[in-house]
Amino acid sequence: MRVLLLEDDAILGEALRDFLRSEGHVVDWLHNLAGARAVEREPFDLLLVDWNLPDGLGVSWLAALRANGRSTPAIILTARDRLADRIEGLDSGADDYLVKPFAPEELSARIRALTRRLNGEASRQLCFGDVRIDLTRHEAHSAGALVTLTAREWAVLEALALRAGRIVSKADLDALVNGFDGESSSNNTLEVHVSRLRRKLSPALIETVRGLGYRIPA
């Protein structure tokens, strides 16, 4: 899952980025709203937004984003714990609100719960024919057997599975898998990951839509 983390505190931001990466997420960490505005059109699966940022309010940016029709799930991370703040945060368009200090494990659990809720899933398991994907455990099963995947292969699979039925362009898939910090994959590298996923899980799992990108049929 590609996450945009907007946090100006260096110690917290770095730790959250590393913790979420260790959970298998692709995390782009930005320190201010200027940076966030520059990447607004990037395909993110989740926004983690600090309320106070050096150049403005994260909630105001989020509200503007919602006003422009962007519905990317968002969690507010803030030191403000008043009831009125929570209400304002949620009303600005946030899907959840987490008061600092919090354990990163709780943030991770809330991310799982949020994506589960938004995808209308009772659990974090997706099934495509014989292939079952457990988003919580980061596991893929083919015909009931556990299949071992590399981190990159898992990232490609998760990005496509969360958008099942939709075409994901190669550029978006690259961004979703690598973020800004990672090295950009060549088309050939992505094709190699897709090819390995087809071989390990099911040949028909991922379709190539010529000239547009890839898709897992819903």
Partner 1 sequence: MKLTSLQNRLSRSLLAGWLVWSLAILGSLWWVIDHEIEELLDETLVESAEIIAGLLAYDAAALRLDDSDTRALPAAEHSERLIWQITNLAGRIALRSHRAPDTPLALPTTSGLSYDASHRWRVFSLRLPGAPDLVLHVGQETAEREEAAVEAARYAAATALCIGILVMLWTRLRLRRELAPLDAFSAAIRDYDPLARDYRLPPASHAELQPVRDAIEGLATRLAQRVENERAFSAHAAHALRTPLAGLDAQLAVAQREAPAIIQPRLAQARQAAGRLQRVVTALLALFRSGSDLHPQRFRMSDLAASLGFSGLQLQVEGAEWLDGDPDLIAAALMNLIDNSARHHATIVRLHVADSPEAAITIADDGSGIEPGHISRLNEALSTRDYAGHTGLGLMLADMVARIHGGRLEILTPDAGCTVTLHLGPPANRAPVPAAGL
**Residues in touch with partner 1 (CB under 8 A):** 9, 11-16, 18-19, 22, 52, 77, 79-83, 99-106
Cα dihedral sign for 127, 131, 137, 138?
negative
Question: Which is nearer to partner 1, 80 or 112 (by Cβ)?
Answer: 80
Least spacing, CB of residue 111 vs partner 1, in Å = 14
Least spacing, CB of residue 100 vs partner 1, in Å = 4
CB atoms within 10 A of CB 1: 21
Least spacing, CB of residue 113 vs partner 1, in Å = 13
Retrieve residue 101's tokens. 């200090």
Least spacing, CB of residue 212 vs partner 1, in Å = 38
Question: Which is nearer to partner 1, 20 or 36 (by Cβ)?
Answer: 20
What single-letter DSSP state applies at residue 79?
S
From CA 205, how far away is CA 160, in angstroms rounded? 10
Least spacing, CB of residue 133 vs partner 1, in Å = 23
Outline where the chain has alpha helix (H). 10-22, 33-38, 58-67, 83-91, 104-118, 151-161, 170-178, 187-200
Q: Residue 167 burial (CB < 10 Å; 0-12/13-18/19+)?
A: middle
Question: Which is nearer to partner 1, 58 or 213 (by Cβ)?
Answer: 58
From CA 209, how far away is CA 166, in angstroms rounded? 10
